[in-house]
A and B are shown apart, each in its own frame.
Chain A
Amino acid sequence: MKTQSAMILDPTQDPEQDVVRREHKTLSTPGAFQLKVDAEGIAWLTFDTLGSSVNVFNEATLHELDDYLDVLEGDPEIHALVIASAKDKVFIAGADLKSIRGMKAEQSAGIIALGQAVMSRLAALPMAKVAAIHGACVGGGYELALACDVRVASDDDSTRLGLPETQLGLLPAWGGSTRLPRLIGLMKALDVILAGKVMKAMQAKRMGLVDVVVPREHLMTSAKKLARHTEPKRNAFFMQHLWPLPKLIAMKAKRDLIAKTRGHYLAPLLALDVATRGISMSVEESLALERESMTTLMRTPETARMIDLFFAKEGASKKPWRVGHAMPITEVAVIGAGVMGAGIAQWLASKGMHVTLSDINTEAVGKGMERVRKLVEDGVKHRVLSKREARETLDRIAPAHTAVPLFRQQLVIEAATEDMGLKKKIFAGLAARCSAETILATNTSALSVAELAVGVPHPERVIGLHFFNPVHRMGLVEVITLPETLDDVTATAHGWVQSIGKTPVVVKDSPGFVVNRVLMPYLMEAVKLFEQGQSPQLIDEAMLDFGMPMGPMRLLDEIGLDVAVHVGGTLAAAFPQRMGSSELMASMVAKGWLGKKSGRGFYEHGGKLSTVNTQALAMRTAAVSPMGLVEMQARLAMKLSDEAKMCLDEGVAASSKEVDLAMILGTGYAPFRGGPLAYAEEAQAMS
């Protein structure tokens, strides 16, 4: 019996919903779904995978859903359906990628067809269908929502919607590429599908991906209202779908894609093709096109690598460190308010950390705070931060120009200039004003952490945390440990890097760690090619064609030639056989040609379009020996792969997966190639 004063402890439970007319016991084995029908004839289908915190679609769950559709079709008293999830942070996380990755061609074709059939059947159910979305609703999960008539989402932070398939080398093939353009129009749908980005509820509403956004507590009440009043929907009319507009839209989108990806990624190209051709066809024909293209994609090795990369990244950014106990970190001090220090401080503050940003005088701190402010303003401009988040980020950064006590900080990150003497001095000073448990980290990119730890009281809490520039865009942090580093310290740093939304890769203290060490021979090889008379533009072109986000010559200009010479010097001292130095580059630095920051390096950076620095060209003495792009590409790419192999053999990182992941996240190494080690393996297999 229900009493009137009964407290509703579970906010997702609508009190009225408790009046269950009957439980359906048609399905013999209890599975991932529960179906209840209330007095009004609204069916509530809840996805609740046993023993898991997520819901995913695989053969079993699709079949089960299909069975429930049988029940719904066969019951004339049901006139509306609400689909919800019982999970705390997930509606439906899409297809079970793990099972897909291992599938043979026939099997995968089978599951594509099964998913499509179930979604189509759901869409055809003669009743109002409401998706009540709380938590992650992506890929196949959102395709299920698309097969419903109306979508209501909770405004919770865990609610994320979108079709990220193209990011994995796939395309939405359970009706997503067909139904989304019909719902929100081709142009917006292409934005969603081709970028493969997932979005929060409010942005999804702006884009038209959901119809209503409510607080989580009102989700079921709102779904019920919608179930009562929604009519099964017909497709909206869009002017842009009239011939020949889709063709023109497709041409433009294709041109943009090719310019951006050089055609390396088949998935967005095929998704574009399916979506644009699909809207001029019947739904059935469009679905057939989805199937066909998806089958093609699933056969490519690139897709397999993208999925592997996804798992590697998920593992690295979610799994706790294998040993040790991770302590919480809420207060951090960053020593040094330069580009890296300010970038780190801004990122941490935007993730909720309280940050003390310190430098030696008010002028230096002022410059750092100005950098932070600029980053925050850019964040607002690009809608990464709301105005409130921007203010909160700035509020969390406390500037300091004197040696303030840091006893309450659990972590101190030194981000001073790359000078061992200076860094040692800072560490000596820090020990006196921190607690013995404070983790002392250095953001060095190549200096020895072990040398830095010498003389520091409690060196077992000294580590390296190598952030990459620009901090807010680079997802990798190399966590450098020493033999004496405590497991708890490693676990804390590792877990903390994950908590701030970055991917940690734990590496040993070895010159250049992984990323810079693997990168350096490649950059030096590029300089050598330049010295031998190759055009810097062609060198860059070769590597852009390879799939790098930036060519090596331009990358050198971005890093700064002085920094490159400095890092190169550190590495050359450690590995004299492999990392030669370049006299030409040294003399360019001597002339003050430091790259982008000084306006001149291998390129001139004055105007909007940079041109080749002809004076640097003139400094070369060697005769031009023409070389093809492919040959240059092979030479440069193998430099990366060779050094990566040596890193792995020396045990700098624990596995080839981690080396590959670090290179992809740290340098943008062509993701579809799977990383320098995967590439080497491939190249070997080919030859």
Chain B
Amino acid sequence: MKPNLVIIDGVRTPFCRAGTSLAELDAVELGRIAVSALLTRTGIDPHTVDETIFGCVGQPAHAQNIARVIALRAGLPEDKPAMTVHRNCASGMEAITTAYDKMCAGHGEVFIVGGTESMSQMPFYFSRQAVEKFGAISRAKSLPQRLGAVAQFRPDDFAPVIGLKLGLTDPVSEMNMGQTAELLARELGINRDMQDAFALRSQLRAAKAPAHSEIVPVYAHSVVTADNGIRADSSLEKLAKLAPLFDSKCGSVTAGNSSQITDGAVALLVCTEAKALKMDWQPLGRLVDYSYTGCDPKRMGLGPVRAIEALLHRTQLKLADADVIEINEAFAAQVLAVMKCLQDKVSARRCGLEEPLGEVDPAKLNRRGGAIALGHPVGATGARLVLSALLQLRELKAKSALVSLCIGGGQGGAVMLETL
């Protein structure tokens, strides 16, 4: 029989807008702080952890297999392995589902999983031609050779290639993520007002959400204890003033109705249900099942539609069975598009569903706000959504939660969680 994956506890750093409070910390440091705090808070013996699995999209060059670096620096024993997973925006979710697969295959019982991202510290690159010229300098043996090599440089060579921009551009369709959102807005008729209204709802819900017990302070040069992207004073008027970012003439996607570019890390302690019983650990809930599906990279925002369909099929559950629903807010237009495709027959067909799956009850959706307010540190978000959904189930004393997100490159991911 397959083991059950249960989530024992989880913590996250505050989520802070790129370039603000956490900007000086790299993805390793953020991840280390989260894992270390998880170990401290749970008090577990690090030797009981079989493996550490972390998601990170923009892995820093100085920390390849960042999960291993984080694990060692957080004080996990050297003889316990660690691996990094990458499924773009779902990397933090992938860490959990990979742990589940490993459990099912008998490779370990206790895992620390999570995701980390420093979008402040996404690297700048040099162009290929510039790199070759640098190479020539290092190969030069004599001073004249070296001077000759230096003389090859042109001002253009020093124009950096921005890693963050590259990462947010689909390499197949060559569309920026924001442009994929514009496409959905156009095709599914989601206008600016609808998007801004959704964004406002996210901000206000995040502002009203109960104090985030999952946040652990970051002791940088100042003490950072809270998310800083939330705008409690947001309003439709303010949102309406923002200019479209990706299509300056007719566009509707703005900085206000998109997810924020943010630094942060999440860490969860997961294990088999049997192990939890044995150790007398009280789980927050369990993973029922998961699903990843592919879709058109140009319409990557619709990824959740098919992923949710596949998940409901696997679990034999209905959309209405979920008491809590988290759909990541990459863009307001994209979440609204997903909702429309789940509910509306014609739109559902466009996504390849035979029948719509039903209405997403707005009361259940993203009750504590989403990435539009909290931010979207890409590698970490998947794990944050799972943690947030479980904490909401506990708050509501409810049974089951559906978590889904769209994935750059044209994929969707979904997990079903339930309390024990």
Contacts and interface: CB of A to CB of B under 8 A. Distances in A.
A366 B42 contact: no
Nearest to A399: B219
B75 to A, nearest CB: 5
B217 A396 contact: no
Interface string A398-409: 111110111110
A405 B42 contact: yes
A363 interface: yes
A408 B217 CA distance: 22
Q: Give the residue among A396, A398, A402, A405 with the most B Cβ atoms within 10 A.
A: A398
B73 interface: yes
Contact of B40 (A356, A363, A369): A356
B43 A405 contact: yes
Interface stretch (B31-39, B107-115, B244-252, B312-320): B31-39
A399 B42 contact: no
B217 A362 contact: yes
B45 interface: yes
A73 to B, nearest CB: 49
Contacts of A400: 40-41
A502 interface: no
Contact of B223 (A366, A405, A406): A366
A369 B74 CA distance: 16
Contact of B74 (A395, A399, A406): A395
B32 A398 contact: no
Nearest to B44: A408
Given A362-B225, A366-B223, A408-B45, A401 B217 contact: yes
A408 B37 contact: no
Contacts of B37: 398-399
Interface in A443-499: none
Contact of B43 (A369, A395, A401, A404): A404
Contacts of A179: none
A399 B220 CA distance: 12
Interface string B208-244: 0000000001010111010000000000000000000
Contacts of A362: 217, 223, 225
Contacts of A596: none
Interface in A313-341: none
Contact of A395 (B32, B44, B217, B221): B32
A363 B222 CA distance: 9
A398 B39 CA distance: 9
Interface string A380-418: 000000000000000110111110111110000000000
Contacts of B45: 408
A354 B75 contact: yes
A572 interface: no
B3 to A, nearest CB: 25
Contacts of A354: 75
A402 B11 CA distance: 14
A396 B42 contact: no
A229 B225 CA distance: 64
A: contact size bracket? 20 to 34
B75 A396 contact: yes
A405 B38 CA distance: 12
A407 B43 contact: yes
Contacts of B217: 362, 365-366, 399, 401
Q: Give the residue among B40, B44, B221 with the most A Cβ atoms within 10 A.
A: B40
A585 to B, nearest CB: 36
A399 B41 CA distance: 10
Contact of B219 (A356, A366, A404, A433): A366
A401 B40 CA distance: 10
Contact of A365 (B36, B74, B219): B219
Nearest to B42: A405
Nearest to B32: A395
A405 B222 CA distance: 26
A402 B32 CA distance: 19
Nearest to A354: B75
Contacts of A399: 37, 40, 217, 219
B43 to A, nearest CB: 3
Interface in B383-408: none
A239 B53 CA distance: 62
B225 A406 contact: no
Contacts of B43: 404-408, 433
Nearest to B222: A366
Contacts of A402: 41
A410 to B, nearest CB: 12
Nearest to B217: A362
A365 B36 CA distance: 15
A363 B224 CA distance: 10
A408 B75 CA distance: 13
A190 to B, nearest CB: 40
A260 B40 CA distance: 46
A354 B39 CA distance: 12
Interface string A334-373: 0000000000000000000010100000110110011000
B40 A404 contact: yes
B73 A398 contact: no
Given A362-B217, A400-B40, A395 B223 contact: no
Nearest to A400: B40
Contacts of B219: 365-366, 369-370, 399
B141 to A, nearest CB: 26
Contacts of A365: 217, 219, 223
B303 to A, nearest CB: 37
A404 B41 CA distance: 5
B333 to A, nearest CB: 38
B84 to A, nearest CB: 19
Contact of B73 (A356, A395, A406): A395
B249 to A, nearest CB: 48
Q: Give the residue among A365, A400, A407 with the most B Cβ atoms within 10 A.
A: A400
Contacts of B73: 395
B44 to A, nearest CB: 8
A456 to B, nearest CB: 20
A363 B223 contact: yes
Contacts of A408: 43-45
Interface string A600-627: 0000000000000000000000000000
A387 to B, nearest CB: 13
Nearest to A392: B73
Interface in B36-77: 36-37, 39-45, 73-75
B223 A398 contact: no
A398 B225 contact: no
A442 B39 CA distance: 25
A395 B73 CA distance: 6
Contacts of A406: 43
Given A363-B223, A365-B219, A366-B223, A395 B75 contact: yes
Nearest to B46: A408
Nearest to B35: A398
Contacts of B221: 370
Contacts of A363: 223
Contacts of B41: 400, 402, 404
B230 to A, nearest CB: 19
Contacts of B75: 354, 395-396, 398
30 contacts: A354-B75, A362-B223, A362-B225, A363-B223, A365-B217, A365-B223, A366-B217, A366-B219, A366-B223, A369-B219, A395-B36, A395-B73, A395-B74, A395-B75, A396-B75, A398-B36, A398-B39, A398-B40, A398-B75, A400-B40, A400-B41, A401-B217, A402-B41, A404-B40, A404-B41, A405-B43, A406-B43, A408-B43, A408-B44, A433-B43
- Top 7 nearest A-B pairs (CB, nearest first) are A405-B43, A366-B223, A369-B219, A398-B40, A362-B217, A395-B73, A398-B36
Given A366-B217, A395-B74, A399-B219, 10 more contacts: A354-B75, A356-B40, A365-B223, A366-B219, A395-B32, A395-B73, A396-B75, A398-B36, A398-B75, A400-B41
Interface of A: 354, 356, 362-363, 365-366, 369-370, 395-396, 398-402, 404-408, 433
